[in-house]
Amino acid sequence: MPTEVTSQTLTQAVADHLRRLIHLGEVGPGDRLPPERELAEQLGVARISLREALKILQRDGYVQVRRGAQGGTYVTELEEPVARWRAKMRTESGEFDDIIDFRIALETDSARLAALRRDERDLAALRTAIEELERSEGRAAFRLTDSRFHTALARAARNARLEAGIEAARGELFMAHDLLPFIDPVQESVRDHLAIYQAVLRRDPEAASARMREHIEHTRAQLRDIVFGSAPTE
């Protein structure tokens, strides 16, 4: 029997959508969200649903409301969500590896299909994402440009469900990049992304899949040390 749609489930869906945008770096620490009326129109929801969703995000430490001339709803430094994410990964047995394994399953096939189906526009989008990653000067910019590369690759695979699954899986791990020493993951990610891009450029599906697997395994090793090993580096 279908689940009844209520105002509460709509509010939660809006909150989840906005949270995912933050996770993927579309908006980052210090960014101001659009005014309530404008944002409600963009999302196609009533202002009351949006207002309640923002209360959820405020309660969870994602946003804060400022008053005055520069007032509005701003993304926080995300310290509370980071702490909760880390605690969850530590206490829920197998959760960390489940997410990484799921990403590998989705993204290796995405890379394989992208090598077979890509066109010149896809290649241009991938090159742009790599160039932006090289120039990124902060963790929020790094997270955003990293996500754009993986999104462009998923779009090149020409499978909307695969793209949606990848976005959801990546959103579950976004916090970890904010705990990494900044320069090292950028350099390694650029190398990994270039290797994937070159395989896609050559239309080599097996190499693209293998390079993606290696890339995500690099991520697993980095994040495992952060979550279960030493304290995060400032």
pLDDT for 15-67, tens place per residue? 999 998 888 778 888 999 999 999 999 999 999 999 999 999 999 999 999 99
Average pLDDT, stretch 183-204? Answer: 90
Say which residues have a Cβ less than 8 Å from residue 4's Cβ, sequence separation at least 6. none
pLDDT at 109 (0 to 100): 97
Asked whether the predicted pLDDT for residue 217 surpasses 70, the reply is yes
- Delimit the domains of the chain by residue range: 7-77, 81-228
> Which of 75-84, 148-157, 216-225 has maximum average pLDDT?
148-157
Stretch 216-230: mean pLDDT, rounded? 82
pLDDT value for 205: 98
Q: Which CATH number fits domain 7-77: 1.20.1560.10, 1.10.10.10, 1.10.540.10, 3.40.50.300?
A: 1.10.10.10
String of DSSP letters for 40-99 = HHHHT--HHHHHHHHHHHHHTTSEEEE-STT-EEEE---HHHHHHHHHHHHHSTTHHHHH
CB burial string 164-189: b at 16+ within 10 A, e below? ebbbebbbbbbbbbbbbeeeebbeeb
Q: pLDDT tens digit string along 100-141?
A: 999 999 999 999 999 999 999 999 999 999 999 999 877 777
- The CATH number of the structural domain formed by 81-228 is 1.20.120.530
Burial class (CB in 10 A: 0-12, 13-18, 19+), 95: middle
Look at the pTM and tell me if it is higher than 0.85: no
